[in-house]
Amino acid sequence: MNKPLLTIGISLALSVPLAAQAGAKEDFNEVYAKAQSTHQDAGNFQWTTTTDRMKAAKTSAESGDYDKAASMARQALKLAQESVAQRKQQQEAWRNAAIGN
């Protein structure tokens, strides 16, 4: 991040990182919420790896590292989307492997 100019008042200098922080936080919140709802959509086909990434995202957010938190949440979202795809696919595909069906 660019160093704020000295001529800019100290309050403004503080507000720059705060504003950036706010953007990252918003970004995180949005992705995290989406990951969470997609993870729910997986029903009883949830993946532990999704849960792990969600936890890691939350931990990073709590420590204020919203960039890392958002990155973890994005990974969680992608994993959750695959688990939902698996759930949908298995609704029919399970029969292909079943004895007596």
Partner 1 sequence: MSAEEDCVMRKGLISVCLTTLALSATAPVFAEPTQADIDRGKELAFSRKDGNCLACHKMDDGKLTGNIGPELVDMKTRYPDREILFKRIWDETQFNPMTVMPPFGRHMILSEEEINRVIDYLYTL
Partner 2 sequence: MLKAKVILVALGAALAMPQALAGATPEEDRKETVEYFKQMFPDVPLEEFVNGQYALNEDRRKQWESMQDFPPYEFAVAEGKEMFETPFANGKTYASCFENGGIGIRQNYPYFDTEKKEVITLELAINRCREANGEEPLRWKKGAIASISAYMASTSEGKPINIEVPDDPDALAAYQDGKEFYYSRRGQLNFSCASCHVQNPGKWIRADFLSPALGQPSNFPVHRSKWGELGTLHRRFAGCNNNVRAEPLPAQSEEYRNLEYFLTYMSNGLPVVGPATRP
Site of interaction with partner 1 (CB under 8 A): 27, 49, 67, 70-71, 74-75, 78-79, 82, 93, 96-97
Site for partner 2 in 49-78 (CB under 8 A): 49-51
Long-range contacts of residues 48-52, Cβ cutoff 8 Å, at least 24 apart: 49/79, 50/76, 50/79, 50/80, 50/83
Minimal distance in Å, beta carbon 86 to partner 2?
A: 7
Question: Between 24 and 79, whose beta carbon lies closer to partner 2?
Answer: 79
29-61: string of b/e by CB count within 10 Å (b at 16+)?
eebbebbbebbeebeebbbeebeebbebbbebb
As a whole number of angstroms, the distance between CA 95 and CA 88 comes to 13
Question: Between 41 and 82, whose beta carbon lies closer to partner 1?
Answer: 82
71 binds, among partner 1, partner 2, none (CB under 5 to 8 A by kind): partner 1
Residues near partner 2 (CB under 8 A) are 44-51, 79, 82-83, 86, 90, 93-101
